[in-house]
Amino acid sequence: MHALVSLHNTIFGLVERVGDWLMPLGARFVFAATLLIYYWNSGMTKLGDGLFGIFLPSDGAYIQIFPKAFEEVGYDVSQFGIFHWLVVLAGTWAEFILPLLILVGLFTRLASLGMIGFVVMQSLTDIYGHGQTDVKTLGALFDRFPDSLILDQRLFWVFVLSVLVVKGAGALSVDALLRRRAEPVMA
């Protein structure tokens, strides 16, 4: 029995060490494969026209982020103030910058934490701003339907991002390169 326990511990000790290396890389891969283009495409819909469109968000950006407030002002962007512009601008830029940071593994923990906050705000906006409260879209945890767009799907997104917050970007990342360069050289 002792030999069996020892074999188990040896095998799964190795699995755990390999997992410490693979889990962050796998989480970044899953994020890139499923959410990177989703967020970049969403960000593209928020850009204004022309070269300075990155500073002048489209009307669609305001509709997506402030749906009820935009309706209240008669769909007139000029009725919004600096606060609304800054929120829309920050949200738009976040959809490009945070996924890029996760992709290359730079400031991965902070970028992943920012993405978790983004997903939470996106979900709250979908529920309260856009009124997506039907059972099929909203879903429920611990039910027999694993395909709701908000609770089920976004829980998986947040879990993948949480792995990156806890574990970091892993060995194949700019974070790891910077960490290795910052370590003192033993003479």
Q: What is the pLDDT of residues 77-91, one digit of tens each?
A: 999 999 999 999 999
pLDDT band at 24 (very low <50, low <70, confident <90, very high): very high
pLDDT at 38 over 90: yes
- pLDDT at position 187: 63
pTM equals 0.88
Contacts of 173 (CB under 8 A, 6+ apart): 24, 28, 104, 105, 106, 108
pLDDT band at 26 (very low <50, low <70, confident <90, very high): very high
CA distance 131 to 167: 35
